[in-house]
C-alpha cells in the first residue's frame, strides 16, 4: 500500500475533529472512573484496594497492550480498528451494568474497555500522522485534549446520571453514547494512492493457474491431481470436444505421469520448504537478539535509566488522585452538596490546560525540557504530600487543579525522550517507557487502596505516593545534572539492524 504525501489539511481536519470526539467519548468514563469507584464501593462492599483495580486496569491495560494495538492498526488499518474499538468500549460499559461482583468488572470494565481505549488511541494517532507532517504537532495536540475534556465532562455527567437512573442506568447510557465512536471511525478515510493502477498481466501470465502444480502455496498431491483434472476438463469444454473416450484416456495418462514423478518432486519441495523455515527462524532469532542488544545499549545511558524509574514511580504515585480524590473528600467528611464542581472535573480541565501550556513552553529554545519535566515531577510530589493536610473542599480543589496541571507533563514526555536517546531510537525507547507507564497506572491505585485498608486513612497512602514521585524526580535530576549535555547530545552506537519498529501509538 502506497500512501500519498501528507496534505497537512483538507480531509485531515475532519480526521482531527472526529479523532477528538472519539477520544472524548472513549476516554471520558475510564478517566472519570473515580465517580463510579465510590458507587462500586457501596454496591459490592469490597476493600478499596480490590475495588481500585477496576479503574487502574481500564487506564493501564491500553498502555500495556500498546504493541498489540500497533500490530492491529498496521494489519487492518486505522478505520476498521477505530470502529471495532467503539464496539469494545460500548460493549464493556453495557456489560458492566449487569456486573454481579467486582471480579466481573475486572473483565468487562478493566480489560474490555481498557483494550478498546488502547486500540482507539493507536488508530487516531496513526491516521492523524498520515494526514499531517508540518502541522503534526498541532493536530496531535488537539486530539490529545479530547481525553482531558472527556474527563471534565464525564465526571459531572456520570454523577448526574447516577442520581437520576442509578449506577446500572448510568453505565448503559454512557455505553450507548460510546457507540457514536462508530460514526467517528467511519469518517477516518485512509490516505491511499490510487493514481498508479497495478500492471496488467501479459498473455503468458493470463494462462490458467491450474497448470502450475507448485505455484504460490504448496498443495497436496490429491489437490494437484484434482486441479489438473479440472483444468483439462475446462479446456475440453471451451474447445467443444465432446470425445469422452479420448478425454478418459488423456486423464489416465495425466494421472500415470503424476504418479511416476510426484514422489521425487514432492520430496524436493518438502526439503526446500524445510530449509526456508530454518532460515526464516534463524533470521527472526537474529532480529530478537538485535532488539535486546539495542535495549541493553539504551539502559547504558544513565539518563534514560533514570527516566525509566521516574516514569514508573510517577505513574504509581501520580495517577491515584484522579481515581481516588472523590473518596478522599468523602473521607474528610465533605458533603457532596458542598461541591460546586467535582474534583475530578477540576483535574480534567487543568490537565488540558497543562498539556497546552507545557507544550508551548517546550517549544522555546531557552527552555530545557528535561529540567522542565523534572520540575513538574518534584512539584507533583510536594502536592501529593500536601493532600493529607487538606480538610476542606477549597484546599482539595486547589490541590486537584495543581495536580491536574502538572499531569499535563505527558505532552512534553516525547520531547524529553528524544532529548535523552535521540530521534533514531525514539520509537524503541518510547515503547519501553510507555509499557512501564501502563504498569505504574495499573499498580498505583490498588497500592493506595491497600494502604487505606491497612491504616483506615489516606494519609499514609499519599505520603507513599508523594515519596515515589519525589524519588523519581530526584533520581532523574541527579542523572541529568553532571553530564546533561554529554548524555543527551550523544547517542551510543548500535549494532547493525535490518528491521524497523512500527509502534503507531508512540508517535
User: Which pLDDT does position 278 carry in this prediction?
Assistant: 65
User: Which pLDDT does position 270 carry in this prediction?
Assistant: 63
Q: Which three cell numbers stand for residue 416?
A: 524529553
Q: Which three cell numbers stand for residue 167?
A: 449506577
d(CA 351, CA 402): 9
Question: Span 124-151, mean pLDDT?
Answer: 79
Q: Is 502 helix (H, G, I), strand (E, B) or coil?
A: coil
d(CA 114, CA 199): 44
Largest Cα–Cα separation, the chain: 101
Cβ neighbour number for residue 102 with a 10 Å cutoff = 20
pLDDT at 116 over 50: yes
User: Which pLDDT does position 497 carry in this prediction?
Assistant: 39
1-193 and 274-482, same CATH topology:
yes
CA atoms within 13 A on the CB side of 323: 32
pLDDT at 214 over 60: no
238 confidence band (pLDDT: 50, 70, 90): very low
Q: Which of 416, 405, 414 is nearest to 374 (CA)?
A: 416
d(CA 294, CA 306): 17
Q: Are 440 and 316 in contact (CB under 8 A)?
A: yes
Q: Which of 486, 489, 466, 330 is nearest to 419 (CA)?
A: 489
416 confidence band (pLDDT: 50, 70, 90): confident
Phi first, then psi, for residue 457 (nearest 5°) are -160, 160
Q: Are 107 and 219 in contact (CB under 8 A)?
A: no
143 confidence band (pLDDT: 50, 70, 90): confident
Total length of the chain: 507
pLDDT at 202 over 60: no
d(CA 144, CA 120): 12
DSSP string spanning 157-223? HHHHHHHHHHHHHHHHHHHHHHTHHHHHHHT-------SSPPPPP-TTTTS-GGG-TTSSS---HHH
User: Which pLDDT does position 237 carry in this prediction?
Assistant: 46
pLDDT at 136 over 80: no
Q: Which residues of 70-83 are buried (b: 16+ CB within 10 A; e: fewer)?
A: bebbeeebbbbbbb
Q: Which of 232, 404, 432, 395 is nearest to 319 (CA)?
A: 404
d(CA 13, CA 11): 5
Q: Which comes out higher in pLDDT, residue 427 or 109?
A: 109
C-alpha angle 335-336-340 in degrees, rounded to nearest 5: 115
CATH homologous superfamily of 274-482 equals: MFS general substrate transporter like domains (1.20.1250.20)
Measured between alpha carbons, how far is residue 136 from residues 10, 66, 422 in Å?
14, 21, 19
C-alpha angle 130-30-370 in degrees, rounded to nearest 5: 60
285 Cβ contact partners less than 8 Å away, ≥ 6 residues apart: none
Helix 114-131 with 66-76: angle, nearest 10 deg: 50
Contacts 24+ apart (CB under 8 A), 417-420: 417/307, 419/369, 419/370, 419/488, 420/301, 420/303, 420/304, 420/307, 420/370, 420/487, 420/488
Question: Span 13-25, mean pLDDT?
Answer: 91
User: Which pLDDT does position 287 carry in this prediction?
Assistant: 67
Q: Which three cell numbers stand for residue 168?
A: 446500572
d(CA 400, CA 342): 10
Question: Span 32-42, mean pLDDT?
Answer: 87
Q: Are 382 and 466 in contact (CB under 8 A)?
A: yes
507 confidence band (pLDDT: 50, 70, 90): very low
Give the range among 34-48, 139-153, 454-468, 493-507 with minimum mean pLDDT. 493-507
| Domain formed by 1-193, architecture | Up-down Bundle (1.20)
Measured between alpha carbons, how far is residue 90 from residues 52, 85, 159, 308, 316 in Å?
21, 8, 19, 34, 28
Q: Which comes out higher in pLDDT, residue 77 or 230?
A: 77
489 confidence band (pLDDT: 50, 70, 90): very low
Cβ neighbour number for residue 469 with a 10 Å cutoff = 27
Each domain of the chain, given as residue ranges in start order, spans 1-193, 274-482
**Alpha helices in 187-319, H assignment, sequence order:** 221-238, 244-299, 302-318
Give the range among 67-81, 138-152, 271-285, 307-321 with minimum mean pLDDT. 271-285
For cell 501520580, name the residue. Answer: 318
d(CA 402, CA 381): 11
Q: Which three cell numbers stand for residue 506?
A: 508512540
Q: Is the dihedral of CA 61, 66, 68, 72 positive or negative?
A: positive
Amino acid at each position: 500500500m502506497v500512501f500519498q504525501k501528507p496534505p497537512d489539511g483538507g480531509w485531515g481536519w475532519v480526521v482531527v475533529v472526529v479523532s477528538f470526539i472519539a477520544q472524548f467519548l472513549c476516554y471520558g468514563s475510564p478517566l472519570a472512573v473515580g465517580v463510579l469507584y465510590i458507587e462500586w464501593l457501596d454496591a459490592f462492599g469490597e476493600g478499596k484496594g480490590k475495588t481500585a483495580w477496576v479503574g487502574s486496569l481500564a487506564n493501564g491495560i491500553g498502555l500495556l497492550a500498546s504493541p498489540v494495538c500497533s500490530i492491529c492498526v498496521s494489519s487492518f488499518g486505522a478505520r476498521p480498528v477505530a470502529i471495532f474499538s467503539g464496539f469494545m468500549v460500548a460493549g464493556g460499559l453495557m456489560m458492566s451494568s449487569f456486573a454481579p461482583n467486582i471480579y466481573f468488572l475486572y473483565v468487562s470494565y478493566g480489560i474490555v474497555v481498557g483494550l478498546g481505549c488502547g486500540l482507539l488511541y493507536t488508530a487516531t494517532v496513526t491516521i492523524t500522522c498520515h494526514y499531517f507532517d508540518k502541522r503534526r504537532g498541532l493536530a496531535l495536540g488537539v486530539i490529545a485534549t479530547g481525553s482531558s475534556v472527556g474527563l471534565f465532562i464525564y465526571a459531572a455527567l456520570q454523577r448526574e446520571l447516577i442520581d437520576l437512573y442509578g449506577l446500572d442506568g448510568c453505565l448503559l447510557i454512557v455505553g450507548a453514547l460510546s457507540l457514536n465512536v462508530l460514526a467517528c471511525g467511519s469518517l477516518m478515510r485512509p490516505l491511499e494512492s490510487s493514481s498508479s493502477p497495478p500492471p496488467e498481466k501479459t498473455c503468458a501470465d493470463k494462462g490458467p493457474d491450474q497448470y502450475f502444480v507448485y505455484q504460490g502455496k504448496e498443495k497436496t498431491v490429491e489437490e494437484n491431481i484434482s486441479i489438473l483434472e479440472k483444468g483439462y476438463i475446462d479446456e475440453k469444454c471451451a474447445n467443444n470436444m465432446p470425445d469422452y473416450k479420448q478425454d478418459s484416456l488423456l486423464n489416465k495418462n495425466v494421472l500415470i505421469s503424476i504418479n511416476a514423478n510426484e514422489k521425487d518432486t514432492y520430496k524436493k519441495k518438502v526439503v526446500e520448504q524445510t530449509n526456508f523455515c530454518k532460515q526464516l527462524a534463524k533470521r527472526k532469532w537474529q532480529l530478537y537478539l538485535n532488539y535486546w542488544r539495542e535495549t541493553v545499549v539504551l539502559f547504558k545511558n544513565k539518563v534514560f535509566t533514570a527516566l525509566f524509574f521516574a516514569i514508573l514511580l510517577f505513574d504509581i504515585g501520580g495517577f491515584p488522585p484522579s481515581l481516588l480524590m472523590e473518596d478522599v473528600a468523602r473521607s474528610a467528611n465533605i458533603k457532596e452538596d458542598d461541591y460546586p464542581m467535582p474534583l475530578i472535573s477540576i483535574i480534567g480541565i487543568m490537565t488540558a490546560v497543562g498539556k497546552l501550556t507545557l507544550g508551548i513552553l517546550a517549544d522555546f529554545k531557552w527552555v530545557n525540557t528535561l529540567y522542565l519535566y523534572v520540575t513538574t515531577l518534584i512539584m507533583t510530589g510536594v502536592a501529593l504530600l500536601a493532600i493529607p493536610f487538606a480538610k476542606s473542599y477549597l484546599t482539595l480543589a486547589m490541590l486537584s487543579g495543581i495536580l491536574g496541571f502538572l499531569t499535563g507533563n505527558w505532552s512534553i514526555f516525547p520531547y524529553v525522550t528524544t532529548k535523552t536517546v535521540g530521534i533514531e531510537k525514539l520509537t524503541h525507547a518510547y515503547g519501553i517507557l510507555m509499557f512501564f507507564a501502563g504498569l505504574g497506572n495499573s499498580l498505583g491505585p490498588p497500592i493506595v487502596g491497600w494502604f487505606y485498608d491497612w491504616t483506615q486513612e489516606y494519609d499514609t497512602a499519599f505520603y507513599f505516593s508523594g515519596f515515589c514521585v519525589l524519588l523519581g524526580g530526584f533520581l532523574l535530576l541527579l542523572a541529568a545534572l553532571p553530564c546533561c549535555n554529554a548524555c543527551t547530545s550523544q547517542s551510543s552506537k548500535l549494532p547493525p539492524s535490518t528491521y524497523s519498529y512500527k509502534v503507531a501509538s508512540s508517535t
